[in-house]
Structure 1
Amino acid sequence: MAKASITFEDINITVTAPAGTRLIEISEKVGSGIVYGCREGECGTCITKVTEGWNNLTEPSVLEDKVLRENMAGKHNRLACQAQVLGGAIKVKPV
């Protein structure tokens, strides 16, 4: 199974996680400052800036894309509760 290396820039920690893991799950385990509310991709509180490796995450779903647009999120922002790692290196930080 593929693994990804995820760096949480707000706490300067890099961890390895298996493909298919959601960013929010990893964030909770390491104590990153990514906040969340619903975990269902509807509230937008977990918007996260992907500073490197955005192509190493799953594509945004229609719902995630809608929530990101409604919140005027930047080009490389994702919902941590929806984005799943595929492999490779990824760097993220809370918005």
Structure 2
Amino acid sequence: MAKAQITFKDIDITVTVPIGVRVIEISDKVGSGIVYGCREGDCGTCLMKVEEGWDNLSTPSVIEDKILRDNAAGKHHRLACQAQVLGDVIVSPA
């Protein structure tokens, strides 16, 4: 199984994860400050900043793109419940 590394900048932890795992699943396990409400991409509470590796995340879905716009999210922001890790990435709470 292919693996990638995800670094949570707020707690300075890097973990190796299987490709395709959602950021929120790992964030929850390691105790990062990325919070969440619904895990379905509807509420926007899990907004995170992608510090490095933007291209190493799955493409935002139509629903995620709408929530990002509705929350006036910046250029390098994603929803942790929707973004799947495809390669090495560094993230932090928004």
2:91 counterpart SS class: strand
Structure 1 equivalent of residue 8 of structure 2: 8
2:83 counterpart SS class: coil
Structure 1 equivalent of residue 17 of structure 2: 17
Identity %: 73
Which AA in structure 2 matches 1:94? Answer: P
Uncovered stretches (5+) of structure 2, i.e. residues with no partner: none
TM-score of the pair, normalised by structure 2: 0.98
Residue 55 of structure 1: how far off its partner (Å): 0.3
Aligned counterparts of 1:2 and 1:86: Cα–Cα separation in 2: 9
Structure 1 equivalent of residue 56 of structure 2: 56
Structure 1 equivalent of residue 27 of structure 2: 27
Q: Does 1:65 align with 2:69?
A: no
Report if aligned partners of 1:24, 1:81 keep a CA contact under 8 Å in 2.
yes
Aligned-CA RMSD value: 0.6
Aligned counterparts of 1:64 and 1:2: Cα–Cα separation in 2: 25
Moved over 3 A (4+): none
Size of the aligned set, in residue pairs, is 94
TM-score of the pair, normalised by structure 1: 0.97
Alignment of 1:76-91 (within 5 A): 76-87=76-87, 89-91=88-90
Uncovered stretches (5+) of structure 1, i.e. residues with no partner: none
Which AA in structure 2 matches 1:14? Answer: T
Q: Deviation per CA, 1:37-92, whole angstroms, max 9, x where unpaired? A: 000000000000000001000000000000000000011100000000012x2000
